[in-house]
Chains A and B, each alone.
Chain A
Amino acid sequence: MTTPTPDPAELQVLRAAARRASIARRLQGDPETALLQSIVDATVTLFDAEAASIAIFERDPDRLEFRVAAGEQGAGAIGLSVAPSKGIAGFVFSTGQPLALSDVTSDPRFDRKTAERTGYVPRSIAAVPLVEEHGRGTVGVLQLLDKRSSPTFSLRDMELLGVFAAQAAAAIHATRIQRDLDELLHQALGRLAGDELDAAAIEAIVSAATDGLDPDEESPFWTLVDRLARLQSLGERELGLVGDLLEVLVRYAAPTRRRT
């Protein structure tokens, strides 16, 4: 199948939609990470543990990516990726079953390499799956390392961890659409086009639409968006003033643009 060139007008619409979503994401910061961070912060405090972290399942290649972490020994985990079939996080992800192990370092299956990459090798570990209630099933894992008050985890610990995991899964569900802008476009196009477009064609259209959207930090446009984001904390009067100023600027700029 040849890749059809998308209609310029359609592409324009897609590009506008992508740009709006991208601006919205930028303006709101990254609510998912902020929410997940607050969940691991609360987890580590409540359990008085050395570390808590959340890993999210990502595709191509399939992996669990540690997105947020908290606690004195947590920082090293952020950004790490592990294969979903590796280690305790991988097992919990695969089976959907919460699990806790004590004396982890003597457990040969424990992925010691990953632990050493974080600079911290725990003695005990509890992990629970993040399950989206009406969504994609298991989307990640919440992990807790070394509760200071006890070498093992109780039933109540596991239940509480499950509550935090449910919160994390809800946060992921709520913010997923923003994170998966590309996926959204893929799905929408797939549905609209039916059998007329193959995967490669859809891919081509999506990259055309989102091309150049990745914010170049130095570009004047994104600088402006960032400044607007900072305005959100202002009061109504100040916002009104900013709006008026922008209105004047737009009126001034419009004929200038026409001249060029």
Chain B
Amino acid sequence: MTDALVPAWSEPFSAAARDRLTRLPPLETIDRDWAFGGATGRGVRVAILDSGLESDHPALHGRVVESVAVELDKAGEPHVVADDHGDLFGHGTACGGIILGLAPEAELVSVRVLGSDLRGKGPAFAAGLEWALEHGVRVANLSLSSKSEAMFGVFHELADAAYFRNVLLVCAANNVPGPSYPSLFSSVLSVAAHDEPDPWRFYYNPSPPVEFGAWGVDVPIAWRDGGMTVATGNSFAAPHMAGLAALLASKHPGLTPFEAKAILAAVADNPRR
């Protein structure tokens, strides 16, 4: 049997190709130093799908490289346009500040999906995510989700597209019942809050849907107009994991979302082995 007859999906495993396959070191030898040691997030673009970023906020220290917003036209069609409105709420800036607190040299891309017409927020959110996937980001922080069952298929497709393009979607888990997309999909990294005041402390939950727990209670955060405040919510836990994912991606550029999740689980603070 020649290589030409091997179906495309099997190509990476063909005799000629399989010698090139790399594998992770044994997970028990992986520690935080291997995962993040010396990493700064340099060269990694992180999209923040939120209320915008206040690019001149001291906590963001000039790391915002691009800002776009999703606007809906009269027919409800979303369009991605350059955005100079900063942060309409303060929430996006809070997430950006948390990410840079862990990965100070990461590049932030603001995708503002909040603050436009509320009726179209699901489609705007999806359009923003699609734009991010097409613009070279490695990690996307989603401290929001869509509750519309009509959006299930759209977000499922986008979550798959992200997974196959090695873009890790880090999603705040939702404590309220009902649909919540894409935070309930298995390919994303879903995050809930713990209350230990340590940005580096995180846990892996072996009983998903919520896979990781990071600091999300009484977190000091950057806020609008150069301000600071203290906040609680899963939406502040997610950017802690996004920051760690950015560090991991800057030190180990080729990792897939599945490998990144496995490594993060391996170096989590879970007390029992």
Which residues of A are in contact with B by a Cβ distance under 8 Å?
A: 62, 84-85, 91, 93-104, 106-109, 126, 128-129, 131-134, 137-138, 152-155, 158-159, 162, 165-166
Residue of A nearest to B231 (CB): A101
User: Among A93, A137, A138, A162, which residue has the most Cβ atoms of chain B within 10 A?
Assistant: A137
User: What's the minimum C-beta distance from B177 to chain A, rounded to whole angstroms?
Assistant: 5
Chain A positions within 8 Å of B143 at CB level: 95, 97
Chain A positions within 8 Å of B114 at CB level: 85, 91, 94-95
Q: Do residues B177 and A108 form an inter-chain contact, with CB atoms below 8 A?
A: no
Q: Do residues A154 and B233 form an inter-chain contact, with CB atoms below 8 A?
A: no
User: What's the minimum C-beta distance from B74 to chain A, rounded to whole angstroms?
Assistant: 16
Q: CA A158 – CA B118 in complex, angstroms?
A: 25
Enumerate 13 A-B pairs (CB-CB under 8 Å) in ascending A order. A62-B118, A85-B88, A96-B180, A97-B143, A99-B233, A107-B227, A108-B224, A131-B176, A131-B177, A131-B178, A132-B178, A158-B232, A162-B175
The answer to whether the Cβ of B141 comes within 8 Å of any Cβ in the partner chain is: no
Interface flags for B133-144 (1: CB within 8 Å of A; 0: not) read 000000000011
Q: Do residues A109 and B178 form an inter-chain contact, with CB atoms below 8 A?
A: no
Chain A positions within 8 Å of B193 at CB level: 155
Question: Beyond the given A93-B118, A96-B147, could you list 10 further A-B residue pairs with CB under 8 A, ordered by the A residue number?
Answer: A95-B145, A96-B180, A97-B235, A99-B235, A108-B224, A109-B89, A126-B232, A131-B178, A155-B217, A159-B175
Q: CA A106 – CA B194 in complex, angstroms?
A: 25
Chain B positions within 8 Å of A154 at CB level: 195, 217, 232
User: What's the minimum C-beta distance from A105 to chain B, rounded to whole angstroms?
Assistant: 10
Interface flags for B191-202 (1: CB within 8 Å of A; 0: not) read 001110000000
The answer to whether the Cβ of B30 comes within 8 Å of any Cβ in the partner chain is: no
Interface secondary structure of B, over-half rule:
loop
> How many residues of B are in contact with the other chain, CB < 8 A?
39
Given contacts A108-B223, A155-B217, contact A97 B233 (CB under 8 A): yes
Task: Count contacts between A and B, CB distance < 8 Å.
Answer: 114
Q: Do residues A137 and B147 form an inter-chain contact, with CB atoms below 8 A?
A: yes
Chain A positions within 8 Å of B51 at CB level: 91
Given contacts A97-B143, A98-B175, contact A158 B231 (CB under 8 A): no
Given contacts A85-B115, A132-B178, A166-B177, contact A96 B233 (CB under 8 A): no
Q: Do residues B229 and A133 form an inter-chain contact, with CB atoms below 8 A?
A: no
Q: Do residues B91 and A103 form an inter-chain contact, with CB atoms below 8 A?
A: no
Given contacts A95-B235, A97-B144, A102-B230, contact A109 B224 (CB under 8 A): yes
Q: Do residues A162 and B176 form an inter-chain contact, with CB atoms below 8 A?
A: yes
The answer to whether the Cβ of B90 comes within 8 Å of any Cβ in the partner chain is: yes
Chain A positions within 8 Å of B217 at CB level: 152, 154-155
Q: CA A190 – CA B166 in complex, angstroms?
A: 46
Q: Do residues A96 and B218 form an inter-chain contact, with CB atoms below 8 A?
A: no
Q: CA A159 – CA B227 in complex, angstroms?
A: 28
Q: Do residues A152 and B232 form an inter-chain contact, with CB atoms below 8 A?
A: yes
Residue of A nearest to B151 (CB): A137
The answer to whether the Cβ of B40 comes within 8 Å of any Cβ in the partner chain is: no
Q: Do residues A109 and B223 form an inter-chain contact, with CB atoms below 8 A?
A: yes
Chain B positions within 8 Å of A133 at CB level: 177-178
User: Among A62, A84, A85, A159, which residue has the most Cβ atoms of chain B within 10 A?
Assistant: A85
The answer to whether the Cβ of B174 comes within 8 Å of any Cβ in the partner chain is: yes
Q: Do residues B147 and A138 form an inter-chain contact, with CB atoms below 8 A?
A: yes
The answer to whether the Cβ of B251 comes within 8 Å of any Cβ in the partner chain is: no
Contact of B176 among A94, A101, A107, A165 (CB under 8 A): A165
Q: CA A21 – CA B78 in complex, angstroms?
A: 40
Q: Do residues A62 and B233 form an inter-chain contact, with CB atoms below 8 A?
A: no
Chain A positions within 8 Å of B218 at CB level: 102, 152
Q: Do residues A106 and B88 form an inter-chain contact, with CB atoms below 8 A?
A: no
Interface flags for B150-191 (1: CB within 8 Å of A; 0: not) read 000000000000000000000010111110100000000000
